[in-house]
């Protein structure tokens, strides 16, 4: 079974992430969307909210699983029989950042990172821009799947 892990913070999931996951399931038998838990990071949405947004967005898609994890991504992959890490690339800054991580992960394991280039129509979207739009009462709904709902924030 060809299994890929799509790790990230997903604070919140955006149309950019959605596009990468949708295209990822054409390449793999299963895509595990993995929300990394980082105690030092401040998030806008709780872990439960972030997980629910993703699960709801893909509730019709049996090939997608959503999990949370702590620690090194490669350790999670080894423990869960995952051979590929899936990542999205938007621009040269993403490439430089991702290159260092992918090289490190290859040094630590045999896990290959597979990169998908962002779709042109979602290339500008990042979770941090979405959070900024939300904080300033803008229409965030054009940037995220319909499952992302902002409560009293």
Any idea which residues carry the catalytic annotation?
17, 41, 90, 127
Using CA atoms, how far apart are residues 85 and 11, in angstroms rounded to an integer? Answer: 19
Q: Is 113 in the site for ligand ADP (CB under 6 A)?
A: no
Residues 69-108 that bind ligand ADP (CB under 6 A): 87-88, 90, 94
Minimum CB separation of residue 102 from ligand ADP in Å reads: 10
Specify which residues 5 forms β-bridges with: 32, 85
* Dmax (CA) of the chain: 45
- Interface residue with ligand ADP among 4, 5, 18, 20 (CB under 6 A) is 20
Cα dihedral: 148, 64, 8, 132 (round 10): -20
Question: What are the residues binding ligand ADP (CB under 6 A)?
Answer: 8-10, 14, 16-17, 20, 87-88, 90, 94, 118, 122-123, 125-127
């Amino acid at each position: 079974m060809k299994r890929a892990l799509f790790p990230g913070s997903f604070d919140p999931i955006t149309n950019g992430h959605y596009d990468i996951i949708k295209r990822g399931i054409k390449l793999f038998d299963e895509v595990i969307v993995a929300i990394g838990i980082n105690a030092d990071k401040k998030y806008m949405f709780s872990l439960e909210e972030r997980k629910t947004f993703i699960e709801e967005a893909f509730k019709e898609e049996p090939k997608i699983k959503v999990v949370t994890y702590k620690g090194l991504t490669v350790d999670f992959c080894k423990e869960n029989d995952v051979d590929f890490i899936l990542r999205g690339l938007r621009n040269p800054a993403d490439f430089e950042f991702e290159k260092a991580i992918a090289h490190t992960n290859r040094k630590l394991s045999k896990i290959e990172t597979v990169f998908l280039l962002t779709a042109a129509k979602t290339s500008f979207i990042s979770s941090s821009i979405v959070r900024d739009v939300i904080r300033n009462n803008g229409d965030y709904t054009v940037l995220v799947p319909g499952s992302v709902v902002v409560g009293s924030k």
